[in-house]
Amino acid sequence: MFNLTTLVRPNILNLEPYSSARDEFSGTEGIFLDANENPYGNLNRYPDPFQKQLKQKLSEIKSVATENIFLGNGSDEIIDLCFRIFCEPGKDKALTFVPTYGMYEVSAAINNVELVTVNLDKTFQINMSEALPLLTDASLKLVFICSPNNPTANSIDAVEAIIQNFKGIVVVDEAYIDFSDRESLSQKIAQYPNLIVLQTLSKAWGLAAARVGMAFTNAAIVSFLNKVKPPYNISAPNQIAALATLEKTDEYDRQKETLLNERVIMIQQLRQLDYVRKIYPSDTNFILIEVTNADAVYNALTAQNIIIRNRNKVVKNCLRITIGRPHENAVLLTALQNIQP
């Protein structure tokens, strides 16, 4: 049986969280002499610690109840909070499937938690016979699965099988889900008490600068996330910017359509290049390609101030290309056509 309290670090379970008068009175009218603010200015007041308005809006867009939403200063903050809630430093372990997003490893290292890594197979899927035995380790508290995965761009098929076969917490990072045809697992948080789904406004919503990440999970896990987060973790300007952008759904749809069309064009053009050995299928706003010499291509592009991501060290001779605006993609493709690596 799944038992959340046995998974939470005892010091977090017993933690008395920071509290302020604004927990209750944020957004109400009154004379506020409680938080040692300067009464003058535009940005003089602390923001709503629980981002009620923003959660309400996201609840409508994502079809997830507000009590099942936690917001972080980017999903990077939530990744770190998961380690702090569930993993005893120097004792507990986490697991992920590589190659994948680099912050799981960095956050694990910061928190002095061993990160066990399992290689994805040739098609960048999880090999279940390799993964299943590892899930029985009693010191394994967290599994991170990035789907669609960065940098491989594909969706992972076995996500639910892992959730069903693990007694610890599974964090499914859906940063790129808005570009995919697959269903978000956010609609299954009631079914799986060990599931945390991460999404972000940094990608399809175009708000990377505003640092708004979301966790969709059961209310008990939300309450632990609230316990450990810094009190005012999303700034007032960023909450306002996010609310304004979330109103512009037409623009969101238009941009997404453009990016997905551009992805098709990019793939067609990349196929014409004889030094491109492989173009991996993409469920995201980027493409992973294998070339004959990734370092040579990367260096030739940076010399022209065109910056892509060289992933040669994590996937041999692979480059990750983000889909940009049409003219940016055209400049990149012309540059690639003129390279002889």
Can you give the binding site for ligand PMP, defined by CB under 6 A? Answer: 74-76, 101, 146, 150, 173, 175, 200, 202, 208, 213
DSSP 216-258: E--HHHHHHHHHHS-TT-S-HHHHHHHHHHHH-HHHHHHHHHH
How many Cβ atoms from other residues are within 10 Å of residue 334's Cβ?
12
> Is residue 179 a contact partner of residue 204, using CB atoms and an 8 Å limit?
yes
Question: What is the smallest separation between the CB atom of 338 and ligand PMP, expressed in angstroms?
Answer: 29
Q: Which is nearer to ligand PMP, 144 or 192 (CB)?
A: 144
CA-based nearest residue to 210, from 253, 239, 178: 239
Neighbours of 144 (CB within 10 A): 26
Q: Can you list the pairs that 26-29 forms with residues at least 24 positions away whose Cβ atoms lie under 8 Å?
A: 26/50, 26/52, 27/52, 27/53
DSSP state of 8: S
Least distance from ligand PMP to the Cβ atom of residue 317, Å: 21
- Token pair 């017993």 is found at 14
Rank residues 46 and 286 by Cβ distance to ligand PMP and give the closer one. Answer: 286
The least CB distance from residue 155 to ligand PMP, in Å, is 12
Looking up tokens 């050995």, which residue turns up?
A: 277
Compute the least distance from the CB of residue 335 to ligand PMP, in Å.
24
Pick 210 or 333: Cβ nearer ligand PMP: 210
3 state SS of 167: coil
Comparing CB distances to ligand PMP, the nearer of 202 and 238 is: 202
Nearer to ligand PMP, 94 or 333 (CB): 94
Which residues are 172's β-sheet partners? 145, 197
Nearer to ligand PMP, 8 or 163 (CB): 163
How near is the Cβ of 174 to ligand PMP at its closest, in Å? 8
CB of 287 to ligand PMP, least distance (A): 14
Tell me how far, at minimum, the Cβ of 11 lies from ligand PMP, in Å. Answer: 26
Q: What is the dihedral of CA 218, 222, 225, 231, to 10 degrees?
A: 170
Q: Which is nearer to ligand PMP, 49 or 213 (CB)?
A: 213
Minimum CB distance to ligand PMP, residue 208 (Å): 6
Least Cβ distance, residue 99 to ligand PMP (angstroms): 11
Cα–Cα dist 65/40, whole Å: 36
Which residue number, 75 or 186, has a Cβ lying nearer to ligand PMP?
Answer: 75
What is d(CA 227, CA 221) in angstroms, rounded to the nearest whole number?
A: 10
Q: How far apart are CA 13 and CA 223, in angstroms?
A: 11
Which is nearer to ligand PMP, 47 or 74 (by Cβ)? Answer: 74
Those residues with Cβ within 8 angstroms of residue 93's Cβ, 6 or more apart along the chain or in another chain: 87, 113, 114, 115, 116, 137, 139, 140, 141
Residue with nearest beta carbon to ligand PMP: 74
